[in-house]
Amino acid sequence: MDLLQLKYFRTVARLEHMTRAAEELMIAQPALSQTISRLEDELGVLLFDRLGRRIRLNLFGQAFLVRVERIFAELEQAQAELADLAGGNRGEVVLALGAATHLIPDLLSDYRQQHPQISFRLFQQRVTTMVQQLEQGAFDFCITAPPLHKPGIASIPLLTEEIALALPPAHRLEKRKRIRLSEVAGEAFLSLKAGHGLRDLTDAYCLQAGFTPQIAFESDDPSTLRGLIRAGQGIAFVPTISWRGSLGPSVVQVQIEEPRCERTIGLAWLEQRYLSVAAEQFRTFIKEYFARLSQAE
């Protein structure tokens, strides 16, 4: 067993498609198939179920993939640690985003003005997937709302912000400065899909107000949701700081006075993961960046 075999297995496991994996790896498909077969022979189990021309990672493959991801995570950490020891001034930060995506371009732009030699890899995922991959060492940091609280994961709050209600122009409540959430029980809502932190939190607030929201449109992408809000397709919950400036002048935002609606954004990292000098510097910067946002509110 060698690292090349593991690299090939990792790619096939991710794509579950031999032809696409061969194209991505830039090798011939028969050579890739033979490598996977030799790996299975060495392990003594099949890692994939063959369904005609399709393949699917089976239980053996899923268990093996967890260990393989840890191997590559350890190698990446070793490279980062050696680069720090060698005194290099370059580095990479791997960041997963589950919240505050609207803020990230400006945040990274500000950071790279001070540290132009640092590069970033960004991932946008749901929290459940993000936690699994964080535990496997795939990321340096995750930004989530609410903050993660789990053994082995360190977490700090970055920002607590109010959640308001966005209304289209000429809405019956647009002249109000604050409302009770129960007053919009029958309205058509625009929302992220279930499983997103903001959706789960606001669904809970609706239940607290005595109703289940009627979802007219839902999306996995916060930017698509913001576009629907700007287009006046319904009402929506909007975080007042992290979404600031993204909705346009025609959208009316009304404060919710009952129940009080807010969320906390947090930064998380794996306690046992080696953090490079670049990652440590970025953690300090992001804490200060969000502290400035809070003070400006």
pLDDT tens readout for residues 36-78: 999 999 999 999 998 877 899 999 999 999 999 888 888 887 8
Higher pLDDT, 221 or 46: 46
The DSSP H or E segment spanning 129 is: helix 127-135
- What was the pLDDT predicted at 241? 93
Residue type present at position 166: A
Return the DSSP state at 2. -
Non-local (6+) Cβ contacts of 130 within 8 A are 96, 98, 123, 139, 142, 144
Q: Are 33 and 18 in contact (CB under 8 A)?
A: yes
Task: Dump pLDDT digits (tens) for 158-212.
Answer: 999 999 999 988 889 989 999 999 999 999 999 999 888 899 999 999 999 999 9
Predicted confidence at residue 253, as pLDDT, reads: 92
71: Cβ contacts below 8 Å, ≥ 6 apart: 3, 6
Interatomic CA distance for residues 55 and 48, integer angstroms: 6
Residue-level pLDDT at 90: 63
Per-residue pLDDT at 89? 55
**Given pLDDT bands bounded at 50, 70 and 90, which one contains residue 297?**
low
Share of the chain above pLDDT 90, in %: 62
CA distance 153 to 150: 6
